[in-house]
Structure 1
Amino acid sequence: MFNDIKITDYKQLNQMLDSLLDEETNKTANLSNASSLLNYFLDNVNWVGFYLYEARTDQLVLGPFQGLPACVRIDNGSGVCGTSFKNQEILRIEDVHTFPGHIACDAASNSEIVIPIYKDNLPIGVLDIDSPLYNRFTASDEEGLAEFVEVLKKHL
């Protein structure tokens, strides 16, 4: 079916991210490289990217990503991304079609994981990853991706 990414693999990935972003201070460049690294590293994903919080509109706005064109704006609290961000909790959704208010940007997506990003209690956005497989994301993915975001935050 798919190769489950083990935590040791995520530790190696997170070290690669830290090295890749070392000494770079541009947020867009760092988010772009982070999404590219995940897209290359993870099997069976069809979209990897970031939505960034815009306080003026209270929305998440499309940021750097890998995949098909996507929804540009998501209201805070709407869909998987908006709910994860508003509640400041990781959401790992086995079947997005059963999630109340799911926003279908890509009809091929069947499962999703979203990690909210806050730095020093200030809102940044979310890391959003979709898969065409149902139940693609595991507890190991959740743990590894949460640590990935922690490493990323050092460079934002």
Structure 2
Amino acid sequence: MSDKNAFYLRLQQQVSALIEGESDAIANMANISALLNLELEGINWVGFYILRGDTLVLGPFQGKPACIRIPVGRGVCGTAAAENATQLVADVHQFAGHIACDAASNSEVVIPVRHQGRVVAVLDIDSPLFSRFDANDAAGLEGIVAMLERGWSSIA
């Protein structure tokens, strides 16, 4: 097992302890973003955008103030929501339609959060480092998102 896999297994155990028995999605997203901010190195923003109609709206996060609304299909977050697929971007400046909420960000990973098969939110993590995230990061973060999905409650 690689060090990165062991790291994400440990993070998943921490997430499990944080969200066990809690059905409030906002509270769980807040704790998950805080934990990821503490544990992930080389990042400058981590948080959630919640799908409201055809727009992603800023949810719980850690980092500098961020874009409040992102249309589905625009930028990395909007593409993840539109395609219902993880987006792993080594250089955001090469991503057509990238929305620069923080000019210091150079790479990004976005994981869709699903409820009953439909995207309800996305987990967005930015880094000032190019190529900060790899397939192991994506898989580990998808595991964390899956834990959130299992305990998802509707958001009014």
TM-score interval, smaller chain: over 0.9
Equivalent runs, 1:117-156 vs 2, <5 Å: 117-156=113-152
Match of 2:70 among 52, 71, 74: 74
Q: What root-mean-square deviation, in Å, do the aligned CA atoms of Structure 1 and Structure 2 show?
A: 1.2
Return the alpha-carbon distance in structure 2 between the equivalents of residues 149 and 18 of structure 1: 11
Match of 1:40 among 27, 38, 55: 38
Return the alpha-carbon distance in structure 2 between the equivalents of residues 72 and 61 of structure 1: 6
Asked if 1:90 corresponds to 2:86, the answer is yes
Give the TM-score normalised by the residue count of structure 1: 0.93
In the alignment of these two chains, the number of paired residues is 151
Aligned residue for 1:77, secondary structure, equals coil
Q: Which residue of 1 aligns with 2:10?
A: 12
Aligned residue for 2:98, secondary structure, equals coil
**Is the CA contact 1:5–1:141 (under 8 Å) kept in the aligned structure 2?**
no
Return the alpha-carbon distance in structure 2 between the equivalents of residues 6 and 105 of structure 1: 28
Amino acid at match of 1:117: V
Amino acid at match of 2:51: Y
Return the alpha-carbon distance in structure 2 between the equivalents of residues 106 and 100 of structure 1: 16
Aligned residue for 2:97, secondary structure, equals coil
Return the alpha-carbon distance in structure 1 between the equivalents of residues 9 and 20 of structure 2: 16
Aligned-residue offset at 1:5: 6.1
Aligned-residue offset at 1:119: 1.6
Give per-residue Cα distances to partners, 1:78-136, cap 9 Å, x unaligned: 00000011001111100001100000000000000000111212331100000000000
Return the alpha-carbon distance in structure 2 between the equivalents of residues 118 and 22 of structure 1: 18
Query: Which consecutive segments of 4 or more residues in structure 1 shift more than 6 A?
Result: none
Aligned-residue offset at 1:13: 0.6
Return the alpha-carbon distance in structure 1 between the equivalents of residues 87 and 119 of structure 2: 17
Q: Which residue of 2 aligns with 1:27?
A: 25
Give per-residue Cα distances to partners, 1:11-52, cap 9 Å, x unaligned: 111011011111112221111000001111100100000000
Aligned residue for 1:92, secondary structure, equals strand
Percent identity over paired residues: 50
Amino acid at match of 2:22: E
Amino acid at match of 1:34: I
